[in-house]
C-alpha cells in the first residue's frame, strides 16, 4: 500500500491528478475487509454486525479520543483506514491537504436521503459536498441536576452561560461536582462568545480574555472530561457538566435504564453556542474503497441511521430517517434544535495551524491553572 505522498509523486510523473482526486477503483477484486476509525460510542452496538451479515465484509473498528489524533495519523499517510469520522472544522483543511478521496455518488444510491439544509451547511467546509458524507451533529451547552441546583441556588440562571462562567454563581455548586469538556475548541468558543467576541477569533488578545474568564472559575471545576461525565451525571456524582447535547440525553437514558431517578436538564445557552457536524470520509489511500462506499451507502439507509440515533442520542443528518427516530429524541430541542434555537447557534470554521497552537497554549494554561 502506497502512502498518499508516494501516490502523488507517481501521479505527477505520469501526468495524472493527485491522490486526493482519484475516483474509486471500479473494477478488480478487493479483499472483503473494511477498516474504520471513529469516536468511541459513536455508532450503535449492532450496526457493524448487521453490515457484516449483509455484505460478508469483515469490519475492523478502531476508536480515537480527539480530532487531532485522527488528523496526525492521516496526515502521516499509510493509516490503513477505509472510513473515518471527523468534524467540519477539521475536514475542511484536510480536504485541501489532499488526504481524502472524492466520493463516487454513483455508488451512493441513498444519498438523496440526506437533509439538504445540512448539506448546504457542510458545503462551507466541503464545496459541492464532494468528499464528506454528513453523519451526526450536536450542540454544546451544559447539563445540570435540577434538584441539586435548586437546593443550592433557587434563582440560578439556568438558561445562561452565567451558570458556568460567573465565579459568584459557579462557586455555589463546587461541592456537588462541576465538570467542563476536555476540548479546547468547545470551551474556548463558548467563553469567547460569552465575552461578545468572535467564537472563531484568531486574535491572541481575545484568547487572553477567554483565559482570564476561565481561570476565574477554574477553582470550582472538579474535572475536564469528555466521556466519563456522562456516567457522573447519570449517578448524581456531578451536578453541572458542560456537555454535548446528545451526551446529556444519553446520560438521562442511562439513569432511567438503571432505575435511578436523576432529574437532569440541558441548556442551549441564550447567548448562543456551537453547532458541530461530523461526517464520514474515505482516505485517499484507503485500501478498500469499494467496501467503504458500501458502508457509507448502508449508513445512509433511514432505518440504519435512525437506530444509531435511537441508541446514542445524537441527531443524524438523514431527513428520511425521521419516521424511525424515537419521538422523544426527535422532539427533544436539545438534540434536534427547532429553528428558534438554531438561529442563535454558530458553526466552527476551519482552524489554521497557528490558531491550533494558540488554542493549545491557552488550554494548557487553563487546565493547569497557571
What would the DSSP string read from start to end of 192-203?
HHHTTS-TT---
Three-state secondary structure call for residue 170: helix
Cell of 302: 433511514
> What is the spatial distance between Cα 211 and Cα 81, in angstroms, rounded to a whole number?
37
Q: How far apart are the first and last CA of the chain?
A: 46
Q: How many residues does the chain have?
A: 370
Please work out, in degrees rounded to the nearest 5, the angle formed at the alpha carbon of residue 146 by the alpha carbons of 142 and 149. Answer: 85
Query: Could you give the CA distance from residue 206 to residue 314 in angstroms, rounded to a whole number?
Result: 31
Please report the beta strands in 16-123, taking only residues with DSSP state E, as ranges in sequence order.
33-39, 58-64, 83-87
pTM, whole model, 2 decimals? 0.83
Report the candidate in 91, 7, 73 with the shortest Cα–Cα distance to residue 37.
73
Q: Are 36 and 81 in contact (CB under 8 A)?
A: yes
- What is the pLDDT, as a whole number, of residue 11? 34
- pLDDT score, position 15: 31
| Distance from C-alpha of 202 to C-alpha of 118, rounded to nearest angstrom | 26
C-alpha gyration radius of the chain: 21
Burial of 6 (0-12, 13-18, 19+ CB in 10 A): middle
What is the C-alpha separation between 38 and 6, in angstroms, rounded? 25
pLDDT digits (tens, 9 = 90+) for 322-345: 999 999 999 998 899 999 999 999
What is the 8-class DSSP label of residue 2? -
Please give the pLDDT value at position 17: 37
Residue 85 and residue 68: Cα distance in Å, rounded? 12
Task: Please state whether beta strands 83-87 and 33-39 pair in parallel, antiparallel, or not at all (unpaired).
Answer: parallel
The C-alpha cell that represents 332 in the structure block: 427533544
* pLDDT score for 245: 83
CB of 329 within 8 A of CB of 335?
yes
- Ranges of residues in the chain with a pLDDT under 70 are 1-28
Q: What angle do CA 318, 321, 322 make, to 5 degrees?
A: 105
Crossing angle (nearest 10°) for helices 47-55 and 289-299: 120
Q: What b/e readout covers 91-102, taking b as 16+ CB neighbours within 10 angstroms?
A: bbbbbeebbbbb
d(CA 203, CA 201): 6
Q: State how beta strands 178-180 and 223-224 pair.
A: parallel
Q: Which H or E run contains 178?
A: strand 178-180
Strand partners, 346: 274
pLDDT value at residue 67: 83
Amino acid at each position: 500500500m502506497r502512502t498518499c505522498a508516494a501516490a502523488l509523486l507517481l501521479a505527477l510523473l505520469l501526468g495524472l491528478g493527485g491522490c486526493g482526486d482519484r475516483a474509486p477503483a471500479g473494477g478488480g477484486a478487493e479483499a472483503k475487509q473494511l477498516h474504520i476509525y471513529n469516536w468511541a460510542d459513536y455508532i450503535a452496538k449492532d450496526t457493524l454486525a448487521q453490515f457484516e451479515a449483509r455484505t460478508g465484509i469483515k469490519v475492523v473498528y478502531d476508536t480515537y479520543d480527539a480530532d487531532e489524533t485522527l488528523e496526525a495519523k492521516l496526515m502521516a499517510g499509510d493509516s490503513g483506514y477505509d472510513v473515518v469520522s471527523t468534524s467540519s472544522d477539521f475536514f475542511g483543511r484536510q480536504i485541501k491537504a489532499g488526504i481524502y478521496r472524492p466520493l463516487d455518488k454513483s455508488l451512493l444510491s441513498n444519498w438523496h436521503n440526506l437533509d439538504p439544509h445540512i448539506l448546504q451547511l457542510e458545503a462551507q467546509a466541503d464545496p459541492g459536498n464532494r468528499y464528506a458524507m454528513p453523519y451526526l451533529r450536536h450542540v454544546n451547552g451544559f447539563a445540570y441536576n435540577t434538584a441539586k441546583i435548586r437546593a443550592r441556588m433557587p434563582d440560578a440562571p439556568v438558561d445562561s452561560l452565567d451558570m458556568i462562567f460567573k465565579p459568584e454563581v459557579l462557586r455555589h455548586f463546587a461541592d456537588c461536582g462541576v465538570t467542563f469538556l476536555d476540548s479546547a475548541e468547545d470551551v474556548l468558543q463558548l467563553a469567547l462568545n460569552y465575552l461578545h467576541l468572535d467564537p472563531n477569533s484568531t486574535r491572541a488578545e481575545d484568547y487572553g480574555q477567554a483565559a482570564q474568564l476561565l481561570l476565574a472559575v477554574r477553582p470550582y471545576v472538579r474535572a475536564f472530561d469528555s466521556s466519563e461525565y456522562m456516567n457522573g451525571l447519570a449517578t448524581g456524582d456531578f451536578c453541572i457538566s458542560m456537555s454535548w447535547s446528545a451526551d446529556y440525553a444519553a446520560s438521562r437514558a442511562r439513569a432511567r435504564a438503571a432505575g435511578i431517578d436523576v432529574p437532569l436538564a440541558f441548556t442551549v445557552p441564550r447567548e448562543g453556542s456551537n453547532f458541530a457536524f461530523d461526517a464520514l470520509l474515505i482516505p485517499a489511500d484507503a485500501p478498500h474503497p469499494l467496501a467503504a462506499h458500501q458502508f457509507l451507502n448502508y449508513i445512509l439507509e433511514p432505518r440504519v441511521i435512525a437506530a444509531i440515533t435511537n441508541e446514542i442520542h445524537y441527531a443524524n443528518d438523514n431527513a428520511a430517517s425521521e419516521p424511525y427516530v424515537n419521538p422523544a429524541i426527535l422532539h427533544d430541542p436539545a438534540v434536534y434544535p427547532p429553528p428558534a434555537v438554531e438561529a442563535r447557534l454558530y458553526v466552527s470554521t476551519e482552524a489554521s495551524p497557528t490558531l491550533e497552537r494558540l488554542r493549545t497554549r491557552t488550554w494548557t494554561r487553563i487546565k493547569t491553572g497557571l
